[in-house]
Amino acid sequence: MFGTHFYHQKIRKCVAIFGAMFNNLYVLRKDSNGNVISQVKAPLSYAPKSKYLERIRENASLTQNTQVAIKLPRMSFEITSFTYDTTRQLTKLSNFTTKGTANSNRQKFYSPVPYNINFQLNIYAKNQDDALQLVEQILPTFNPQYSLTIKPFASEYPDFKEDIPIIIQSVSFADDFEGALEQRRTIVYTLDFEMKVSFYGNITSGSIIREANADLYIIEPNENALAEQLTVVPDPTTVIGLADSDFGFTVDINSLDTIEDTDPYVVAGYVVDGYIQETL
């Protein structure tokens, strides 16, 4: 169990896709006639809210400090907590398989572990209109859920896709308007989100069953006599063997000396949608 290294970069991918949603938000400033005079892109970074507020307040005075102040508007986000989601819990031993590195093996995925990752997005602005422009570009997207599709194993299994719902939980704001007129004003809008994520464990590899043998016995009072031997092989033998593939199979039934008919015969057939169709 522990000691087997695996790393699917799931949390890193979740942080990346969350930040990508808010990475192209702009603030437009217009004159009295409604003409656009400037367009400002709100920078986004992964950082705690407290660090940004501390950096902003380092240059609280607009007249006595010559240090360059942090540019507003801007945004930051961070992970605030992880919680286990019991509502999405599946049977622990459930699994599914997919094609491995060769036709002779399969990769097995066990049921993922459901967790909720809580994100907090903070919007900083020096006037109310800039902040409201950014907030109104975000809120209509979440009603209250927005789903993104990702490839959790893009390099190994590019066809494997997963939907990740992102739910907005709350919106709050703080307006630091108290103080002298020359003090800098800071408006902060805080948006809390919940991302429903599934974490996959180690991916195991196993071989494909390409031949099945069965022995049939005659039960007698003093001994058990071997009656027949059955051998099942796919047709052709190079078939990949996916459950939804259409392929044939051959069954060799060899009767032994304990039965009068000792001549072997063959049952041929094929598989359609997971059901065996036999032809004698």
Per-residue pLDDT tens for 140-179?
999 999 999 988 887 777 788 899 999 999 999 988 666 6
Domains of the chain are 10-205 (3.30.2000.40), 209-279 (no CATH)
* pLDDT band, residue 279 (cuts 50/70/90): very low
pLDDT, average across residues 218-237:
76
Residue 11 has pLDDT above 60, yes or no: yes
- pLDDT per position as a tens digit, 170-211: 999 988 666 665 566 778 999 999 999 999 888 877 777 778
pLDDT value at position 270? Answer: 46
- pLDDT per position as a tens digit, 228-269: 888 888 777 666 555 556 667 787 877 765 444 444 444 555
Q: Which residue has the higher pLDDT, 241 or 135?
A: 135
pLDDT, average across residues 29-49:
87
- pLDDT per position as a tens digit, 63-73: 555 444 467 88
DSSP string, the chain: -TT------HHHHHHHHHHHHTTT-EEEEE-TTS-EEEEEE--EEE--HHHHHHHHHTT-BSSS--SPPPPSSEEEEEEEEEEE-GGG---TT-EEEEE-SSTTEEEEEEPPEEEEEEEEEEEEESSHHHHHHHHHHHGGG-SSEEEEEE-TTTTT-TT--EEEEEEEEEEEEEEE--S-TTBPPEEEEEEEEEEEEEE--PPEEEE----EEEEEEEE-SS-EEEEEEEEEEEESTT----TT--EEEEEEEEE-TTSS----EEEEEEEETTEEEEE-
Q: Which residue has the higher pLDDT, 213 or 184?
A: 213
* pLDDT band, residue 57 (cuts 50/70/90): low
pLDDT value at position 238? Answer: 65
